[in-house]
Every structure is written in C-alpha cells, then in structure tokens.
Amino acid sequence: MKDITPKDEIYWLNIYQKAVELANAYGFGFMETPVLEEAVLFTRSIGKDTDVVEKEMYVFEDRDGTKVALRPEWTAGAARAYVTHGMQTWPQPVKVWNYGPVFRHDRPQAGRYRQFHQFGCETIGHRHPCLDAELILVGYNFLKDLGISANVQINSIGNAEDRQNYTIELVGYLRSKRSYLCEQCKKRINKNPLRVLDCKEEHCVEVISESPQIIDWLSEDSKNYFMKVLECLDELGIPYILKSTLVRGLDYYSDTVFEYYEDAVEERSQNALGGGGRYDFLIEQLGGVPTPSAGFAMGLERIISILRSKEGNKNILEKEWSRIFFAQLGEQANYRTLKLIEDLRLEGIVVRHNLAKSSLKGQMELADKFGATHTLILGQKEVHDGTVIIRDMDSGNQEIVDQNKLVLEVKKLMKNIIKIRK
C-alpha cells in the first residue's frame, strides 16, 4: 500500500487529464463499478485456478455472511454492470472507460503494490478486428501522450477449442521438461499450464522458448481474424512484436491478447505497462446473452515510475502547470494579493502562495522549493501604485506591470515557458 502525496500531484493529475481527454476523444463513456463485489464474480470470470484468485484476491465475509472481494481488476465488474443495467438494449458497441484503485495481495517488489491504480477501456457488444486495433491504439496513444515510447506485444490464443487442443500438446511437452522448471511451474503443469508461459525464471524461459506455439493450433477463423487485426495495426502505423508465448493471466481472454512495454528496455527486466484482449464469452458466463467484447488496462504506478526517471518527461508534465508564485508584504498587500490570485484562478492559472508568511526572503525560498519560474511580488508601494513586480527566478530580472494587465502578462509568460521547453 502506498500514499499519494501532493509531491506526486503533478503526475497523477496529468495522467488523469490525459485519460479523460483520450477516452472522450475516442467515444468512451465513464463507468465506475464498486470497489467491493461478490467474490463469486471474480472466481467465475477470472478463473479459480489463476494466480489472481488463488493467491492475490482480498476475500472476506461481510456481516451477512456473504463472501465479498476487493476488485482485483475492472473487466469483470464492467461485464457484470453490462448485464445488470440491460446495456444490451443500448446502441452497440457500448464503449466505457474506468479509472481507479484495484487490489491484489501480491509479493511486494519494485513496480508492484497491493493497492494500485488502473486506467482502462472496454468495447462491449461487437466483434471486429478494427475494434481490437482501436483499443490497442488508445492505449498506445495514452503512453505516447505522456512522452513514453512503447511497443505492443501481441498474440492470438484462439477460441476455447483451440486452447484445449493446444494445452494437451503443451502439457505433454512441459512434463518432458519438468526437471528444468521452477517449483511454481511444476505445480502449474496440471492446474493451469498456460501460466507457465508467463514465467520469467531463467530455466523456465529456456524451456518455454522451445515449447509448441499456439499459433499452430488456431482454427482458420481465429487465424484469419488475427491477421486482420495485424493489418489494421499496420494501417495505423502502430509498432508491434508478435510474441507466441503471450497468453495473459486471466481465463476469460480469447483470440487477440496484447501488452505494452517501454521501448529500449530489456523485456525480462521490466513489467508490462498494461495489457488486454478479447473476452467474447465472459458476459455469457455471467448470465447475459453471448456478447463479444474486448478491453485493456494500464498500470499507472509503473507509468509514473518511468515518468519520474526521465527528466524530459518531467518537463512535458510541468508545461501543463503554472509555476507562478505570489509573494506579498504587509496587511494591505495581503488583502489585494488574495483578490489578484482569484482573478488569475478564474482564468485557469494556478498560483502558489503563502499568505501567512510576511518575510519576502522566506517567501522567495518557498517559491524556489515549489520550482516557480516566476514570482509575483506585491508590497505596500505596489498596492498604492496599482502595480505588481514580476521576477524571473532564473535570471533575477524584474519588470513592473499594471495590476489590471496582470492576467494578460502572466498568460504571456506561460506561453513563453511552454515554447522554450518544447
């Protein structure tokens, strides 16, 4: 578990803003499902033999004796809501996006938390290769808009019959290599053999590299569908890597599956930034009519970790925010400052200040700590003259402007800052 403090604000609010803008631009409507759901929803949808359900889900009984769970992911809840609210009668496909915390009792390590946040999109009600490609594009552009260069790893796991036939072949192969596998993968052979393909242990990776490939077991329908998805991605110019061992960790997936990775970073040294795929049979499993669907989710803590590590991305984030500080000296200046700050706020300009401080030196030190590019200074003389001093925090240069023109002058400053950083 991890707190989010005001020091992280610039990252979280910028990411949220990007998510809202992007989802709206692609026609997705906001949906929020409860943090608490009946546990059976996830065991039925995700799969009782998956790591999420077996080891990671927070499950407990409420006072009525009902088994409930903290949501470990968004898709199952979205599918349940689609059935609950009769969305099959809405114009199809229903396109929704979600944003918020999910919970998994995972082993604490770099980039993994037991409460973490996701941004995701779901397209429910239609099956078409272009819809898969559009979802992949939305996730790709989300990362791109944040200044992260990413690649898409993609595969097809076919339909249920394809996977059943492939699994028989895979189990036979894994049993012949059992002595080379880690203890966890040895247990997975009989319970959930596809999960072995996700293992990052060195010896397991070597075994997996020689394993049968699911692409050879796809039906003609699944194979043709997958080729059309790739053609759509080619048309969109999205870079992708075919990864024959990519299967994802949840049982509801079928056909197209994909993940996002940062470019120029060795895959084995990082976790996926996000991923998704088709889940054409999930809603039927939950009591609805057969409803083809697809979706993805992005892990926001991992994305923020990358943004923190890149100075260039820090500048991209900062250009979205005003780095203006307002310093004042004296009681009359204090009152007037409050009014001028409100004028700036009404124009969408964020201004930092501390009206409780009376020392100019102390306020300038505070401006430095906030990373202000410019400080507005209002003393008793400026109150009398109807002016404000604007100080450039880098050069120390100052200019005096009329209070009535302050909003206009600050807007000019902000435009110049963005131009310089571009």
* Alpha-carbon span 122 to 75, nearest angstrom: 8
Instruction: Locate the DSSP E strands across 1-79.
Output: 29-30, 36-38, 59-61, 67-70
Residues forming the annotated binding site? 73-75, 104, 118, 122, 248, 252-253
Q: What are the CA-CA distances from residue 313 to residues 10, 14, 148 (Å)? A: 12, 12, 8
Strand-by-strand arrangement of the 29-30 sheet: 29-30, 94-103, 115-124, 293-299, 274-278, 254-262, 150-156, 240-242
Under DSSP, the state recorded for 414 is H
Residue 360 has phi, psi (to 5 degrees) of: -65, -40
DSSP letters spanning 194-218: GGGGG---HHHHHHHHTS--GGGG-
Q: Angle 9-25/311-318 helices, nearest 10 degrees? A: 70
Residues forming the annotated binding site for L-histidine? 73-75, 104, 118, 122, 248, 252-253
Distance of CA 129 to the CA centre of its chain: 23
Residue type, 85: H
User: Which residues are CB-neighbours of 276 under 8 A, at least 6 positions away?
Assistant: 120, 135, 139, 248, 257, 258, 294, 295, 296, 297
- Residue (of 14, 7, 9, 77) closest to 42 by Cα position: 77
* Alpha-carbon span 46 to 253, nearest angstrom: 9
Residue 363: HSE in the Cβ half-sphere, 13 Å Cα cutoff:
24
Strand partners, 399: 390
Is residue 296 within 8 A of residue 279, CB to CB? The reply is no
Residue type, 323: R
* Alpha-carbon span 333 to 326, nearest angstrom: 11
